[in-house]
Structure 1
């Protein structure tokens, strides 16, 4: 497994722009290449294969890291933590499950960055419970949604809205908002105290435009529905194993499930692999069908608009 030292580094001298340019030079892997590298690393300890897996996903790690840039911490440190999470994902990746590394790595990267941020804020005892962690990372997003991002103390109606959305108490919302207000100014100089350039000057805004965001939400909804339908096609035992292994907050090990179901560890692996393959096929079929119907509706609408221009204007 490559170390952080073996990867491109983000320093105050080089800057974020140069780092992003450098990591874009690493080629992305095709699905077949990804599987081959993952198996070579897992079965033979091939460090070069692991290096290819890591470097081909550095852009993903950087994108996720930049989404956490508003917490008053050096972006270089956040990127390093994201890369550590990526390496953990590569270390544990099992291509037989049928999912791409990017999907699996996303959660490891986010977890690594979030834990780093919480550790860095631990001097004020923040984020010690699951509810506080959720509030810590979601408060700014909800404030932006209700146009309260620039407020000092939140208005009562905003406090109530946030507390209901996140299922936390109003006093917790008020307290967290006051603690995070010190994070509002992030003009941290690059280099020594006399430097005129700041970290925020080099950051690229990863926020998608509204149209892209709506497309992402729609795609997420389709996949969620497809996954739910796919789970319903499994046997009771297949579903129980998949949920325990892949969907639980604290996944169970093969040994634990083998004891529960009174079969061998290898048998659990086989059932899981078969179930994942069934899910993958069902999800792909559902999405393909949805996309085909959407395309058909769009063609019909365009045909109608061409025949009846007044209809198009009324739309």
Structure 2
């Protein structure tokens, strides 16, 4: 009799474990579907694959046209010392900032403000995306028109940054364009997204107070795989995206330029929890496309 009772208990336990796993897997699948739709647009990977195939098929044509393209880029490169008007490719959103900088004969100041994801924090030899952005802007507009600086605050939480007034230092920089990554990954596991947004709004108040004409762009932290960090995606990134979309600021969802959070390929874009070189490249390319008007 005791053996039967024990066997029954074991059977019930096994069924409970299996049922729990089934529910958990279903929940992850639902989160993945929602995140894929809301964060990646659902078509990025297919478009990238198609573009890759087309590039292979037309390789000779691309090579033949490369010299002409390089000549065109040289013709549209701008020398700040000779520039009288705003370049045509400057997006209208910050045309006035560029015009003012040209009139004052100074570069347009861009400040990237955020966590260790803005730097080579672990000294692995990567070129961080703000540096890549500076190079990309110079290639597109010519040397001197834009200047990118970085305030990277390591693994500090948004609460620590706000408490120490580090956002006030950023606000005092007088930048024309602010790129803000509000420490979402650093807050992950310790703070709710409501806390992160509260601290972000303190930062925004300081920036706007000092720089009422500045353009502000909000960005999520780096992606993580769906099965490595489902709560990070569902409880922090998605709500942050909703907040940013409804705000009066620009939302630069650079996740659209990364592999899907469900894809194994995403791991090639990360080194631990931070962007690898491929990740920095993807991040930089997305921001550069915005600054050059390619994704308006």
Q: TM-score, normalised by structure 2?
A: 0.23
Please give the TM-score of this superposition, normalised by the length of structure 1.
0.22
Relative to its length, the structure with more helix (as a share) is: 1
Q: Which has the higher contact order (CA 8 A, sep 6+)?
A: 2
Larger strand proportion, structure 1 or 2?
2
